[in-house]
Amino acid sequence: MKIGILDIQGSVTEHLEMLNKIKNVEAVLVKKSEDLKEVKGLIIPGGESTTIGKLLRRFGLRDEIIKRVKKGMAVWGTCAGAILLAKKIVGKENADSLNLMDIVVERNAYGRQLDSFETQVEFDCGIGGFGYKCPAIFIRAPKILKAEKSVEVLAKYKDEIIAAREKNMLATTFHPELTEDEKVHKYFVEMCRK
């Protein structure tokens, strides 16, 4: 099964290395809309959401991603990627965003002191209600301030939502690709198989 990684900016290589460790998965770098043809899912890496958003439009990828996600292609946004998936970004016009997930996010929402940090979180894999512990690295991370009823909360840190899923869409405000832990990637691979 092919899974794409948006190759515009940010933690692309780290996601690639992660997917390469998972059996029966072929990672494909996505730079133009044709690259999306055979992929069952797409990862939008962390980086700078405004830059990625602008380039998505310039490379003609924005509309194609929206169309495919609406038809069922799985998508996972990590950090900046999560910001791009959100229907609402606090204090900002959403012109370049993908406007797909019913969540409200605030960019750079952890104060200076917590600009970047690492912790352990409980990630609810949803199926059967069991969870697993995984390391979570936050880098100038956004907060998911609100999730509509259609959105399932998969992980929280200090009472705030840090991972959420709405049907075929997954958003995490942290960076599993920067750890050695493959669980969240495996979770996304399962989403892609469905």
Which residues contact ligand GLN by CB under 6 A? 46-49, 79-80, 83, 107-108, 139-140
> How far is the C-alpha of 79 from the C-alpha of 171, rounded, in Å?
8
Choosing from 64, 134, 175, 185, which is the catalytic residue? 175
Which residues 6+ apart lie within 8 Å of 70 measured at CB? 100
Q: Minimum Å distance from CB 104 to ligand GLN?
A: 14
Which residues 6+ apart lie within 8 Å of 123 measured at CB? 131, 132, 133, 134, 154, 155, 163, 183, 184, 187
Write the DSSP symbol of residue 71: T
Is residue 134 among the annotated active site residues?
A: no
Q: Tell me the three state secondary structure of residue 193.
A: helix
Choosing from 14, 15, 64, 79, which is the catalytic residue? 79
Q: Which is nearer to ligand GLN, 35 or 177 (CB)?
A: 177
Is residue 125 among the annotated active site residues?
A: no
Q: Which is nearer to ligand GLN, 61 or 79 (CB)?
A: 79
Q: Minimum Å distance from CB 145 to ligand GLN?
A: 14
Choosing from 64, 177, 185, 192, which is the catalytic residue? 177
Is residue 79 among the annotated active site residues?
A: yes
Which residues 6+ apart lie within 8 Å of 144 measured at CB? 82, 86, 103, 104, 105, 160, 161, 162, 164, 171, 173
Q: Which is nearer to ligand GLN, 80 or 85 (CB)?
A: 80
Q: Which is nearer to ligand GLN, 2 or 92 (CB)?
A: 92
Q: Among all residues, which ones are annotated catalytic?
A: 79, 175, 177
